[in-house]
């Protein structure tokens, strides 16, 4: 993922309406009309502008079937963000959480041993 692609993805994800459109598309491809109807507070023009930003970021793929446009989620740019920004910290947090668990279990064992001894 180039820096420009990454910038477009972050820009697209920064808007709550665009995130809601992506959530809606997570269940499967939808016609543009269906997306517009899902957001009654927005004009068709506003929804189309949001879809344009999502397409520019390659988060939505659109194909035409006659006069109907079908939009589908493309999760690849989000996966790229995950790999670049999150996965390198995953091992650190996993190890930290394991240490917390181990410490809690040791404290529990010490407490149980103390109770058995009458202390």
Q: What is the pLDDT of residues 36-87, one digit of tens each?
A: 999 999 999 999 999 999 999 999 999 999 999 999 999 999 888 888 777 7
- SS (HEC) of the chain: CCHHHHHHHHHHHCCHHHHHHHHHHCCCCEEHHHHHHHCCCCCHHHHHHHHHHHHHCCCEEEEEECCEEEEEECCHHHHHHHHHHHHHHHHHHHHHHHHHHHHHHHHHHHHHHHHHCCC
Which one is predicted more confidently, 85 or 109? 109
> Which tens digits make up the pLDDT trace of 2-33?
555 688 999 999 999 999 999 999 999 999 99
Residue 1 has pLDDT above 60, yes or no: no
């Amino acid at each position: 993922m180039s820096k420009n692609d990454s910038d477009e993805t972050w820009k697209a994800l920064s808007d709550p309406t665009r995130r809601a459109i992506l959530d809606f598309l997570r269940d499967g491809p939808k016609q543009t009309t269906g997306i517009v109807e899902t957001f009654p507070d927005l004009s068709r023009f506003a929804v189309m502008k949001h879809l344009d930003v999502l397409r520019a970021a390659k988060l939505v793929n659109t194909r035409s079937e006659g006069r109907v446009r079908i939009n589908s989620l493309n999760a690849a740019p989000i996966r790229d963000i995950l790999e670049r920004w999150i996965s390198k910290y995953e091992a650190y947090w996993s190890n930290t959480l394991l240490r917390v668990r181990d410490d809690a279990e040791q404290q529990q064992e010490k407490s149980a041993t103390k109770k058995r001894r009458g202390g």
